[in-house]
Amino acid sequence: MVEGPECRYARSSDGSQIAYQVIGDGAVDVLVVAPLFIPIDLLWDEPRAVRFLHRLSSFARHIWFDFRGTGGSDGIASSEYRMLESWVEDMVAVVDDVGCERVAVLQLGGFGMGPLFAATRPGRTSALVLFNTTACMRGAVDYPEGLSEEEFAAIPAMGAEMVFSVETQAPSLVDDVGFRRWYERALRLSAPPDVRRRRLLAGCNTDVRSVLGSVRSPTLVVSKQGSRLAAHCRYLADHIPGARLVELAVGSDILPFLDSGPVLDAAEEFLTDHRAAPEPDRVLATVLFTDLVASTPQVAEMGDRRWRNLLDTHNALVRTELDRFRGREIKFTGDGILATFDGPGRAIRCACAIRDALGALGLEVRAGLHTGEIELHGDDVAGIAVVIGQRVSALAGPGEVLVSRTVADLIAGSDIMLVDQGTHELKGVPGSWQLYSVAN
């Protein structure tokens, strides 16, 4: 048994404490995203994992953390938990606590946290390395790489215990009694079975394909030839601009620290040779538009002075909620607001809070949200994502918060309830768009 470094704790945006360790003193700062049910403290009890950590230390100072609800981090107690978005906020909190301005993100399996972090925090991301990572698990007409409906429907019956079993994750070690004992103990100490099951099902429902085109960081995608995840990795490489794909002829184990030599060789070559990404002029964000309902008749009825006083109150209330949910005010649009957020869940919460606060004044508001790549022009924003957000808002009814399918995909696993409102045409935007109203 090797003793690891002292565990530290970062405080995330909602107050949750996130356990993390800083390992090594190499030239590259690397934030490791390892969405496994293995607490970081227990990695030091398995010799293969220790060899992986030491090899990574030869060229990097690397930061590992326990996802909330796992290991030494706080449980998932917040009523505003938003899975992917909350995880990305935890990543930011850890990086801030360490004092890193920019990090390379190394994701070792799992869903789309790495691409989402890189797309929403381009100024904090020097590079992105994705190993055995997926953008989406569920298959679709435009995503044959995913699971069929029959396979997807079978996941709840399989359960997390089978999905994360030694037989699935490390088939080469099924007869290694010592490894099995360590791995099954790590699972037990990571989180209760129900938590593992809920996280698995929520993760399988996430879809970050719409995010990939907004990643601007130098990106390496690594997969194993013949792996069931190889097609998912090829999709990532095809849809992240400029991404490089490396397919390794190594074993069938999924756990990243088994057969790790070729994986870390590829990562070292990429991370030590890449050029830093330029300062971003485009970023992935959630756009929020609000609009007072029937404001023109109200102006005529109330008179200019009373209406102006009411608008001043409106603006003050909106700014209060933007501050509360860490939104960025872009501009007021006469009787509404354009704002941006780096997370769709907080944007939805803010829209609902604005609606409720204004409702107490007898004012009805409609709101529309969309997540996409926006262009930064000083204090203003532009781009098709802004247009889509505005069009979605125009379709919302009084008191309704309406969101695009992209937003719905990114908040899978949260406690935000959505109601499918069918597909709609958005003026000036090609195609049909599936929209959802917020039921909370």
Q: What is the pLDDT of residue 275?
A: 44
Q: In one letter, which amino acid is 226?
A: G
CB 311 within 8 A of CB 144: no
Q: What is the pLDDT of residue 150?
A: 85
The whole-model pTM stands at 0.80
Q: What is the pLDDT of residue 34?
A: 86
In this structure, the dihedral spanned by the alpha carbons of residues 163, 167, 171 and 174, taken in order and rounded to 10 degrees, is 150
Give the pLDDT of the chain (440 residues) as one tens digit per residue.
567 788 999 998 888 899 999 999 998 999 999 866 789 999 999 999 999 999 999 999 999 999 888 888 887 765 455 678 888 999 999 999 999 999 999 999 888 899 999 999 999 999 999 998 999 988 888 899 888 888 877 776 666 567 778 888 888 899 999 999 999 998 888 888 777 777 777 777 888 999 999 999 999 999 988 777 889 999 999 999 999 999 988 777 888 888 778 889 999 999 988 544 555 678 999 999 999 886 655 655 666 677 778 888 889 999 999 999 999 999 998 789 999 999 899 999 999 999 999 988 888 899 999 999 999 888 899 999 999 999 999 999 999 999 999 999 898 878 889 999 999 999 889 889 999 999 96
What's phi and psi for 196, nearest 5 deg? Answer: -65, -40
Q: Which domains does the chain have, with CATH numbers?
A: 8-273 (3.40.50.1820), 282-438 (3.30.70.1230)
Q: What is the pLDDT of residue 66?
A: 92
CA distance 302 to 161: 63
Q: What is the pLDDT of residue 82?
A: 65
CA distance 175 to 258: 15
Q: What is the pLDDT of residue 84?
A: 81
